[in-house]
């Protein structure tokens, strides 16, 4: 049996923490909006967050039938993803297939705005104190199956 490397242990730990956070978020009721059709809930400050020139974050993308499913460690410079490491098997497949599928935080916020403008049934966002999102849930059509999107953003670090 091969020895587990520190990187493998870290990836497993990150994946477990992100999965637990997503589960707690869903169980807390945040994933269901305010309970009314067409709800567009916002938890925390809705201030305009400005994307810094360079940053790193961990993204857990789940829900629905989409190609962007998995956990990723993402590095952004100049408004573009310059590096992404798949933390789990799904994430590794996405990165191998097309790095361009992994979004910046600004791109996720654009997705939120597009969902609101297009009349998604539920768009829920949780924010950190600095205004950046820490959780996003979109349900495009309440009674449709597999059209949901859920994102947990953690481990954010502005880079110099």
Read off the pTM.
0.70
pLDDT digit of tens for each residue in the chain (160 aa)?
Answer: 444 444 343 444 444 444 444 444 444 444 433 333 334 444 444 557 799 999 999 999 998 788 899 999 999 999 999 999 999 999 999 999 999 999 999 999 999 999 999 999 999 999 999 999 999 999 998 887 777 899 999 999 999 8
User: Cα(100)–Cα(88) distance, rounded to whole angstroms?
Assistant: 18
DSSP letter, residue 17:
H
DSSP letter, residue 24:
H
Contact present, 65 and 99 (Cβ < 8 Å): no
Phi, psi dihedrals of residue 22, rounded to the nearest 5°:
-65, -45
CA distances, 92 to each of 15, 19, 42, 89 (Å): 13, 16, 31, 5
């Amino acid at each position: 049996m091969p020895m587990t490397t520190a990187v493998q242990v870290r990836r497993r730990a990150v994946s477990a923490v992100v999965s637990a956070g997503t589960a707690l978020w869903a169980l807390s009721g945040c994933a269901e909006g305010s309970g009314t059709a067409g709800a567009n809930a916002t938890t925390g400050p809705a201030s305009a967050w400005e994307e810094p020139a360079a940053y790193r974050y961990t993204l857990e993308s789940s829900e629905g039938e989409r190609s962007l499913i998995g956990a990723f460690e993402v590095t952004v410079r100049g408004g573009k993803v310059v590096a992404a490491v798949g933390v789990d098997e799904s994430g590794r497949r996405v990165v191998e297939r097309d790095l361009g599928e992994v979004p910046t935080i600004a791109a996720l916020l654009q997705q939120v705005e597009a969902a609101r403008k297009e009349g998604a049934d539920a768009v829920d966002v949780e924010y950190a104190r600095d205004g950046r999102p820490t959780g996003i849930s979109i349900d495009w059509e309440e009674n449709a199956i597999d059209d949901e999107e859920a994102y947990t953003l953690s481990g954010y670090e502005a880079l110099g």
